[in-house]
Amino acid sequence: MKATVSIYLFLCLCGLSSGFYRRHFYVEDKMQWNDAQTYCREHYDDLSTTTTQEIEKLASIPEISPAWVGAYEHPANPSEWIWSGGEKQPVEKWNTDEPNHLNTEKCALIGNSGLTNIPCDRTLSFCCMDYYETIVVHESKTWEEALDYCRQNYIDLVSIASKKNMAEVIKNITTSQTAYVWTGLRFLAGHWFWVSGDDVAYKAWSAEGELQCPAKNLQCGALDIVNKVWKPRDCEEKLNFVCVRN
């Protein structure tokens, strides 16, 4: 069975090592937990590992029905829950009175507000994840050239979806040869957006603020390395840039 990735979600920081991120993908096809795990490992990295912040964001998306994530009951210790991907982070954000019925409900789904445990042989849609790493490219290119380069050689220009994302990217761009680096931030059709499709809920604009109607030559977003803020820049300016790769 070929599942359909029906919605591309978001980019967020994960605590693996410097410069790593994960993206989540919702798969509409319904499978038992073990089959969903196999599918995710074949097509992505694994079933989704989620922080409280990620759970809240996933649960807020109307298109997502109850879906498997990678949390499951430890085979040797029913009171402990672990992640399919092997991450050493707590399984948190459970719904009220969950987890319950240990030994018979050994797999976790994400519902309207948090995690619930149910039997693993139920068939549900599920969330898979991929890991990505930020790469600083020490070549000076226009924004469009940088976008083309990232998409041809890696995945995309970087999105910055949280304060932690911002701190991690800044830490990784200290070797840049230009004072600004291109990101995937772009102004078009009256609003700023990330070219990857990520939400622009988190913002880190310079003191001038987010320009609602920038001049035509100031419609590409760059990261100011020294002041650690985003600034609208001339899209034809040649800067180093940050890509993401898996």
Q: What was the pLDDT predicted at 10?
A: 41
Considering only residues 240 and 56, tell me which one the structure prediction assigns the higher pLDDT. Answer: 240
Taking residues 106-118, report their average pLDDT: 92
206-234 residue pLDDT tens: 877 666 777 888 999 999 999 999 999 99
Give the whole-angstrom CA distance, residue 12 versus residue 159. 9
Residue 2 clears pLDDT 60, i.e. is over it: no
Q: How confident is the model at residue 55 (pLDDT cuts 50, 70, 90)?
A: confident
Domain range list for the chain: 5-129, 142-245
Cα(70)–Cα(88) distance, rounded to whole angstroms?
Answer: 13
- The CATH fold assigned to 142-245 is Mannose-Binding Protein A; Chain A (3.10.100)
Query: How confident is residue 5, by pLDDT bands cut at 50, 70 and 90?
Result: very low
CA atoms within 13 A on the CB side of 9: 28
Is residue 245 scored above 80 in pLDDT? yes
Residue 93, pLDDT score: 92
Higher pLDDT, 139 or 44: 139
Cis peptide before 99 (omega within 30 of 0): yes
DSSP state of 77: E
Written as six digits, the tokens of 26 are 């919702």
The pLDDT value given to residue 213:
73
What phi and psi, each to the nearest 5 degrees, are found at residue 87?
-65, 140
Better pLDDT: 239 or 197: 239
Tell me which DSSP letter residue 74 carries: E
pLDDT digits (tens, 9 = 90+) for 124-137: 999 998 877 888 99
Q: What is the largest CA-CA distance in the chain?
A: 61
- Tell me if the domain spanning 5-129 has CATH number 3.10.100.10: yes
Across residues 190-219, what is the average pLDDT? 80
pLDDT of residue 239: 97
pLDDT for the residue 17: 31
**pTM (whole model) above 0.95:** no
pLDDT at residue 162, as a whole number: 72
54-79 mean pLDDT? 88
Residue 202: the pLDDT is: 81
Q: What is the mean pLDDT of the chain?
A: 85
Q: Do 85 and 70 contact (CB within 8 A), yes or no?
A: yes
**Ranges 16-30, 32-46, 110-124, 232-246: which has the least confidence:** 16-30
pLDDT tier for residue 12 given thresholds of 50, 70 and 90: very low
